[in-house]
């Protein structure tokens, strides 16, 4: 009887504690490490919503960037990078123009590779400027963040989360070379899951399956160029050999900006969540849509080579061109 009363009192005290600290305990400190371009535009909506719910976000951005500007619902922490705004802008412009060039597939492929390589090196140097910025790292480490929100296609945020031992939430459209499946140990059979660029359906005939196995080999080169620097930096900072797969494996939740309506169904792990609708947060009448921005935000980057095909499917009255050439373009 006495024990029962004591238990009930304990439960009551526990409940009271929950009620008292509940609201306060809900608010978290979020460290946001965004990817440039349209990637940030979707993530910004999440940061806005986090602010509405009482959480604090600090967004880390290189001083030279495209869209990451200070707003009243987050704090920006900028860091110096070893390149100028002019160099960055010209890189973006080259990449944009490439999308609309009408050249042979092989030329297109080589040019895309060269452009991706330059971009990868630039992003890696930006990451290096962040991770080796002693003052900034000390500052971030002392700020005791609860979580890192980042797009792993720019793996700097994932490396930073691991370095500072903070749980990471990944927010992504996709990551090439099936690194998501590798990191989460998700089943990813060649016979069933169509690979990037193959245009294969999920029901494949024998030769489609062969193609499904061969195509990823070409992408391996891009991943090698693009991602090796991050594994090297992580290994140096953590003072042990780590692969990018291992870094990404420490992600708590993977939020995919995709949907089984647009992509074929595939096996997923319990910590993979599909939130494709978030790309539609800012709807505008179709006449104002900048086609280039639309294609970049809706299609996975791996489809860059297919964009020319898709452009041909637009009705003839639909104006198609890089953003800068469109009137009223603000994506
Ligand atoms: C962060 O701070 C803790 C506690 O002071 C320290 O042990 C750790 O080495 C620091 N991490 C980094 C990356 O500086």
Q: What is the pLDDT of residue 25?
A: 55
- Whether pLDDT at 194 is above 60: yes
Separation of first and last alpha carbons in the chain: 67
pLDDT digits (tens, 9 = 90+) for 18-42: 444 444 556 899 999 999 888 898 8
**141 pocket-lining for ligand 1 (C-beta < 6 Å):** yes
Ligand 1: which residue has its CA nearest to atom 13?
164
To test the pocket of ligand 1, the residue of 31, 139, 141 to mutate (highest count of ligand atoms within 8 Å of its CB) is 141
- Give 25 Cα–ligand 1 centroid separation in angstroms: 24
- Whether pLDDT at 45 is above 50: yes
Q: What is the pLDDT of residue 289?
A: 52
**136 pocket-lining for ligand 1 (C-beta < 6 Å):** no
Structure letter (DSSP) for residue 243 = -
Ligand 1: which residue has its CA nearest to atom 2?
141
Query: What confidence tier does 229 reach under pLDDT thresholds 50, 70, 90?
Result: very high
Q: Which atom of ligand 1 is nearest to the CA of 138?
A: 14
Strand, helix or coil for residue 28: coil
**137 pocket-lining for ligand 1 (C-beta < 6 Å):** yes
- Give 146 Cα–ligand 1 centroid separation in angstroms: 15
**164 pocket-lining for ligand 1 (C-beta < 6 Å):** yes
* Residues β-bridged to residue 148: 31, 168
Query: What confidence tier does 201 reach under pLDDT thresholds 50, 70, 90?
Result: confident
Buried b (16+ CB within 10 A) or exposed e, 98-111: bbeeeeeeeebeeb
**274 pocket-lining for ligand 1 (C-beta < 6 Å):** no
- Give 165 Cα–ligand 1 centroid separation in angstroms: 9
> Measured between alpha carbons, how far is 212 from 193 in angstroms, rounded to an integer?
9
Q: Which atom of ligand 1 is nearest to the CA of 237?
A: 13
- Give 138 Cα–ligand 1 centroid separation in angstroms: 8
Fold of 26-280: Rossmann fold (3.40.50)
Q: Angle CA(170)–CA(322)–CA(99) in degrees, nearest 5? A: 70
CB atoms within 10 A of CB 207: 8
- Give 141 Cα–ligand 1 centroid separation in angstroms: 6
> Measured between alpha carbons, how far is 194 from 38 in angstroms, rounded to an integer?
25
Question: What is the radius of gyration, based on Cα positions, of the chain?
Answer: 22
Pairing of strands 56-62, 75-79: parallel
Instruction: Please list the alpha-helical segments (H only) found in 172-279.
Output: 179-184, 206-238, 244-249
pLDDT digits (tens, 9 = 90+) for 115-152: 888 889 999 999 999 999 999 999 999 999 999 999 99
Considering the entire predicted model, what is its pTM?
A: 0.79
Q: What is the pLDDT of residue 110?
A: 84
pLDDT digits (tens, 9 = 90+) for 49-72: 999 999 999 999 999 988 899 999
**139 pocket-lining for ligand 1 (C-beta < 6 Å):** no
- 166-171: list long-range contacts, CB under 8 Å, 24+ apart: 166/31, 167/250, 167/252, 168/250, 168/251, 168/252, 169/251, 169/252, 169/253, 169/255, 170/248, 170/251, 170/253, 170/254, 170/255, 171/42, 171/43, 171/46, 171/255, 171/257
Q: Considering only residues 231 and 202, tell me which one the structure prediction assigns the higher pLDDT.
A: 231
Average pLDDT over residues 244-248: 96
- 70-76: list long-range contacts, CB under 8 Å, 24+ apart: 71/44, 73/47, 73/48, 74/32, 74/47
Ligand 1: which residue has its CA nearest to atom 1?
141
> Measured between alpha carbons, how far is 208 from 198 in angstroms, rounded to an integer?
8
Highest mean pLDDT among 128-142, 207-221, 273-287: 128-142
């Amino acid at each position: 009887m006495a024990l029962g009363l004591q238990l009930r009192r304990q439960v009551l005290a526990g409940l009271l504690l929950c009620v008292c600290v509940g609201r306060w305990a809900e608010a978290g400190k979020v460290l946001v490490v965004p990817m440039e371009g349209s990637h940030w535009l979707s993530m910004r909506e999440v940061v806005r919503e986090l602010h509405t719910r009482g959480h604090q976000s600090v967004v880390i951005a290189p001083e030279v960037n495209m869209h990451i500007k200070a707003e009243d619902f987050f704090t920006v922490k900028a860091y110096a990078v070893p390149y100028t705004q002019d160099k960055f802008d010209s890189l973006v412009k080259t990449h944009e123009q490439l999308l609309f060039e009408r050249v042979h597939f092989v030329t297109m492929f080589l040019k895309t590779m060269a452009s991706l390589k330059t971009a990868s090196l630039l992003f890696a140097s930006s990451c290096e400027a962040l991770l080796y910025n002693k003052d900034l790292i000390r500052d971030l480490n002392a700020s005791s963040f609860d979580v890192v929100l980042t797009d792993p296609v720019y793996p700097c945020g994932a490396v930073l989360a691991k370095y500072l031992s903070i749980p990471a939430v990944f927010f992504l459209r996709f990551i090439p070379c099936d690194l998501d499946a590798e990191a989460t140990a998700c089943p990813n059979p060649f016979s069933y899951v169509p690979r990037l660029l193959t245009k294969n359906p999920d029901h494949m005939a024998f030769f489609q399956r062969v193609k499904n196995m061969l195509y990823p080999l070409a992408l391996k080169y891009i991943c090698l160029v693009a991602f090796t620097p991050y594994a090297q930096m992580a290994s140096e900072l953590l003072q042990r050999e780590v692969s990018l797969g291992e870094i990404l494996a420490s992600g708590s939740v993977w939020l995919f900006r995709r949907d089984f309506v647009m992509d074929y169904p595939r096996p997923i792990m319990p910590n993979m969540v599909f939130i494709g609708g978030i790309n539609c947060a800012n709807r505008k009448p179709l006449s104002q849509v900048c086609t280039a921005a639309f294609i970049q935000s809706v299609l996975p980057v791996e489809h860059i080579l297919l964009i020319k095909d898709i452009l041909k499917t637009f009705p003839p009255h639909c104006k198609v061109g890089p953003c800068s050439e469109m009137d009223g373009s603000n994506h």
